[in-house]
């Protein structure tokens, strides 16, 4: 079957991080005008690695994330970074069949541009609590499709002997107007650290080619940076992602 030139184009999620006076930055960016959701987040990691203060799954490009509160729970298995060549079989294209959603997208920040693929399973509220509490088994609720995803697309990864790191308190505010952009604001608080992530998305348009989409995403990234900086809010210059920094801090203080 022939594929149109826009079928292989992927959405781009664009993010910038703010550190320092996060409450002040929220006020400056007018976060009171969006829809607020409070959640608690855990990440599963290799127990033996955490005992040594390391995060082997994250270092290997695998993220296992649990979110509770604010509605249904969800469990996400994500590969970041990955490549299109590694996304094989049914996982070569995005799909959604309730209660599962599989997406592939570009993930851009000030310092990195990577490909990410994630498989999300929605659960009833409270269903994930036992898996992330002390003594729980975070691997127990990874379902058959998520396990198949890992075996097919990250065959060297072994998901067993896991421990949950967290909770991270998340406050997310969607649909915030920022100049002519619409952004999401998400605050993470954990391990004595606090981050504000400002994000927006670029979706392929009919008739786009790869170069047109890339240029449009680059313009939007510049717009996002300028919109934040023009309001006197300083962007983080740290090269590591907030996920990496928080998980590393949590692993180094965990008792397993």
pLDDT digits (tens, 9 = 90+) for 171-207: 999 999 999 999 999 999 999 999 999 999 999 998 8
The answer to whether 68 and 40 have CB atoms below 8 angstroms apart is yes
Whether residue 146 is predicted with pLDDT greater than 90 in this model: the reply is yes
Whether residue 82 is predicted with pLDDT greater than 90 in this model: the reply is yes
Rounded (5°) CA angle 35-24-167 = 60
Domains and CATH numbers, the chain: 12-253 (2.40.320.10)
For all residues of the chain together, what is the average pLDDT?
A: 93
Identify which of 208, 87, 121, 216 has the alpha carbon closest to the alpha carbon of residue 224: 216
Helices (H), the chain: 22-28, 47-51, 56-59, 129-132, 144-153, 210-229, 242-253
Identify which of 10, 22, 11 has the alpha carbon closest to the alpha carbon of residue 235: 22
Residue with tokens 């400056």: 28
Distance between CA atoms of 221 and 13, rounded to whole angstroms?
Answer: 10
Q: CA of 224: how far to CAs of 11, 65, 70, 77, 243, in Å? A: 16, 27, 27, 28, 21
Residue 101 pLDDT class (50, 70, 90 cuts): very high
The answer to whether 145 and 52 have CB atoms below 8 angstroms apart is no
Q: What is the predicted pLDDT for the residue at 1? A: 31
Span 156-185, average pLDDT: 94
Residue 19 pLDDT class (50, 70, 90 cuts): confident
Identify which of 117, 110, 142, 115 has the alpha carbon closest to the alpha carbon of residue 43: 142
Q: In this predicted model, what pLDDT tens digit does every residue of 111-122 receive, in sequence order? A: 899 999 999 999
More confident residue, 256 or 93: 93
Span 61-76, average pLDDT: 96
Whether residue 6 is predicted with pLDDT greater than 60 in this model: the reply is no
């Amino acid at each position: 079957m022939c594929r149109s030139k826009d079928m292989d184009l992927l959405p781009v999620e664009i993010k910038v991080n703010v550190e320092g006076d996060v409450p002040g930055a929220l006020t400056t960016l007018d976060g009171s005008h969006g829809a607020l959701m409070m959640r608690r987040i855990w990440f599963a990691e290799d127990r033996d690695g955490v005992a040594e203060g390391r995060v082997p799954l994250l270092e290997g490009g695998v993220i296992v994330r649990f979110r509770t509160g604010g509605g249904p729970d969800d469990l996400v298995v994500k590969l970041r970074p990955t490549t299109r060549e590694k996304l094989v079989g049914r996982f070569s294209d995005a799909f959604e069949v309730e209660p599962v959603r599989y997406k592939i997208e570009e993930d851009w920040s000030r310092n990195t541009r990577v490909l990410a693929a994630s498989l999300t399973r929605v659960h009833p509220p409270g269903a994930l609590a036992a898996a992330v509490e002390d003594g729980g088994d975070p691997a127990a609720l990874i379902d058959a499709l998520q396990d198949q995803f890992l075996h097919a697309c990250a065959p060297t990864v072994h998901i067993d002997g896991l421990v949950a790191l967290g909770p991270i308190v998340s406050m997310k505010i969607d649909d915030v107007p920022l100049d002519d952009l619409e952004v999401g604001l998400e605050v993470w608080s954990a391990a004595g650290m606090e981050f504000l992530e400002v994000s927006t998305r670029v979706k392929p348009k009919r008739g786009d080619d790869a170069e047109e989409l890339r240029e449009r995403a680059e313009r939007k990234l510049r717009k996002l940076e300028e919109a934040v900086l023009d309001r006197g809010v300083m962007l983080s210059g740290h090269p590591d992602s907030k996920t990496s920094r928080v998980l590393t801090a949590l692993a180094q203080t965990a008792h397993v």
